Amino acid sequence: MADYLSHHQKSYDVSLIASSLGQLHEFVTRTKGRIEISRPGSNDRCVLISQEELASLERALEILSDTDNVRDIQVQIAQLAAATGPSPVASV
């Protein structure tokens, strides 16, 4: 996953992107990439992401913050694991 992000994440100084915002918008929406924006004299950063990616992140947080939902997922995973179980190893 980190390798994927390194190909789709770029970092720019804010003073350099103002005139290129349209192109950066196109990059982010087309590739689902991320643009990290910084400015001289500040360690603070912000990130330009697509609305689709933001919605996905918000939905993931919503699911993970709902403890009943997480418990249901855990039960389903346990049931799948029990149903599939380890496959028997053929002896030779």
Q: What are the DSSP calls for 49-82, one per residue?
A: --HHHHHHHHHHHHHHH-HHHHHHHHHHHHHHHH
pLDDT at 14 (0 to 100):
76
Element (H, E) at 17: helix 14-17
CATH level 2 (architecture), domain 1-49: 3-Layer(aba) Sandwich (3.40)
C-alpha to C-alpha distance for 14 and 16, rounded to whole angstroms = 5
pLDDT at 49 (0 to 100):
92
pLDDT at 86 (0 to 100):
66
pLDDT at 89 (0 to 100):
54
Every domain of the chain and the residues it spans = 1-49, 51-84
pLDDT at 88 (0 to 100):
55
pLDDT in tens, the chain (92 residues): 444 444 566 777 777 778 888 888 899 999 988 889 888 898 998 899 999 999 999 988 888 887 888 888 889 988 988 888 765 555 44
pLDDT at 65 (0 to 100):
81
